[in-house]
Structure 1
Amino acid sequence: MNRRTFLKRSLGSLLTLLGLSGGSYFYAREIEPALLTITEETITDPQIPDTFNQFKIVQFSDTHLGFHYTLEQLESLVSQINGLEPDLILFTGDLVDEPNNYDWNNKLIQLLQTLDAPQGKFWIYGNHDHGGYGTDILYDTFNAADFTLLQNSATRIQKDGASFILAGLDDAMLGNPDIGRSIEERADSDFTILLAHEPDLADAVKEYPVDIQISGHSHGGQVRLPFIGHLYTPAYAEKYVQGKYTISDRLTLYVNSGIGTTRLPYRFLCRPELHTFTLHSS
């Protein structure tokens, strides 16, 4: 290869690389954040009462409204969630990115009110919900939208005389999670689902009689590279980042990749995600 050919090919390779980089930037900022994935999971356990066969739970998490995620996008998400016809809706933290800087309005409450699930709508605090003096604002917003807070507490989901326990923890970074307190009213025979914003709490949760932990917080890493995986995750989401994990003989953890973005407005090889969980009694 002569010098002229070498320079020509090198320049061509450089221009191609720059073009791909520009294309990847556009894709990561403008396209992938809008490519919602619906991940379907089946949970089978002998402790699930027969009356809850085909019972559908939908989880959404980490919308981070205000940081490149708008009420118009939330409106579309609400429509998609209702289209799944869930029996139960769960939100696992971080509704707004910066509560102290967000333009709070009634439209947000109206959209959250529109979410429909006959067995109820429940939520837990994330670190961004407590941050920015948001604790009381978030409580009032969800309360007005007919969501029930689970903060180191539990409720009994009942159907045709049978039930299971749904519990929730306070946020680990800016709150005071108490696993024992959250499940103190469960009986030995109760199938138990625990909501915890931070997935790495599973290493502590496994010491308690909990069957399923449902979490968010990690954003799945938000930017993932081939052969490398995620580049960064926040504290308490460094071990369990995305998907399903068998933590112990009893405990299974599901980590949702979230809806919005934070810190950087990009998603790459890590689409926004809804989870649906269908219960089955074995």
Structure 2
Amino acid sequence: MSDEPKPVERTSRRKFWKRAAIGAAAASLAGAAYPLLEARWCRLTRRTLALPNLPASFRGLSVAYLSDLHHGPYVGLDYIRHVVDWSNALKPDLVLLGGDYVSKSSEYIGPVCREMARLRAPMGRFAVLGNHDNWESGAESRAELDRAGLELIDNRGVWLRRGGDRLRVGGVGDLWTDEQSLPHALEDAHEGDAVVLLSHNPDYAEYVRDPRVGLMLSGHTHGGQVVVPGVGAVVLPSRFGRKYSGGLVQGPAFPVFVGRGVGTSGPPVRFYCRPELVMLTLV
């Protein structure tokens, strides 16, 4: 009696190995595609942050914070439009923009500013420029932000007022591509005031000891974009290692919240580091 497998058994085995090969190929393809998909898988990050000296009338102030949109060849307007719509649906009191709105070419400046013009917040919309904005065209970036009705606060600031209370929102120029004038950003603010400072690059916190700053908001580092589990971010554009990779960090003189960004720079991928729209509540 022959011990050879019956034809039906050979057929079953062929089907099994064929399906296994297809499954392995699909898994490999999915693994390769995932970083591209994560780059557009924006999440909502909600954080409650303490701001020293915050007047009672401002407690609970909601702030939509968007940084590093990087509209360009790899970050399309449809994606930016989705994030803008999402921010508007959350009905923030205030919108703050942390710089790097474009990548690769100045031709993207006008379109992204027109999309950001749709952002809504009753207490205003304030922005600083990032290194990419200055690299592509600082002059055009400033002109298009102004045309969009977004108030640029590089090396200047504004007072937000509720009744007799006030809150200072100031900004400085990008650390890599501009000058930083904290005196102009803070002007007549004193140590008893509540002060939020915008600086695209979080490394700026390492060089500032002004006691009037209560909180700084930054972007720039993207959380590293690619994070290896158990190891951390592979590359970070910071002189201070992984300290300012993302989230709330204690700087030498004040806390810094670093957003991981809405878009991507360089390779259009993210891994274990989803892009984020940040909603802050100040207390």
TM-based fold match above 0.5: yes
Which residue of 2 is the match for residue 187 of structure 1?
Answer: 190
TM-superposition CA deviations, 1:171-226 (whole Å, max 9, x none): 01111112233223212211111001111211123444211010000011000011
TM-superposition CA deviations, 1:125-176 (whole Å, max 9, x none): 10001002x1111111111111111111111111122111111010011111
Which amino acid in 2 is paired with 1:93?
G
The gaps in structure 1 that reach 5 residues or longer are: 1-13
Which amino acid in 2 is paired with 1:279?
L
Mapped pair 1:112 → 2:108: no
Q: Secondary structure at the match of 2:117?
A: helix
Which residue of 1 is the match for residue 212 of structure 2?
Answer: 209
Which residue of 1 is the match for residue 65 of structure 2?
Answer: 59
User: Are 2:189 and 2:212, in contact at CA under 8 Å, matched by a contact in 1?
Assistant: no
Which amino acid in 1 is paired with 2:159?
R
The gaps in structure 2 that reach 5 residues or longer are: 1-20
Aligned-pair CA distance for 1:228: 0.8
Match of 1:122 among 117, 120, 126: 126
Q: Secondary structure at the match of 1:114?
A: coil
**Superposed, which structure 2 residues align to 1:111-260 within 5 Å?**
111-132=115-136, 134-236=137-239, 238=241, 239-248=243-252, 251-260=254-263
User: Are 1:198 and 1:237, in contact at CA under 8 Å, matched by a contact in 2?
Assistant: no
CA RMSD, 1 decimal: 2.3
Which residue of 2 is the match for residue 28 of structure 1?
Answer: 35
Structure 1 residues 232 and 15 mapped into 2: Cα distance closer, same or farther (>3 Å)? farther
Identity rate, percent = 29
Q: Distance in 1 between matches of 2:171 and 2:218?
A: 10
Aligned-pair CA distance for 1:17: 8.4
User: Are 2:248 and 2:256, in contact at CA under 8 Å, matched by a contact in 1?
Assistant: yes
Count of matched residue positions in the alignment of Structure 1 and Structure 2? 263
Which residue of 2 is the match for residue 83 of structure 1?
Answer: 89
User: Are 1:54 and 1:278, in contact at CA under 8 Å, matched by a contact in 2?
Assistant: yes
Which residue of 1 is the match for residue 18 of structure 2?
Answer: none
User: Are 1:217 and 1:237, in contact at CA under 8 Å, matched by a contact in 2?
Assistant: no
Q: Distance in 2 between matches of 1:208 and 1:189?
A: 10
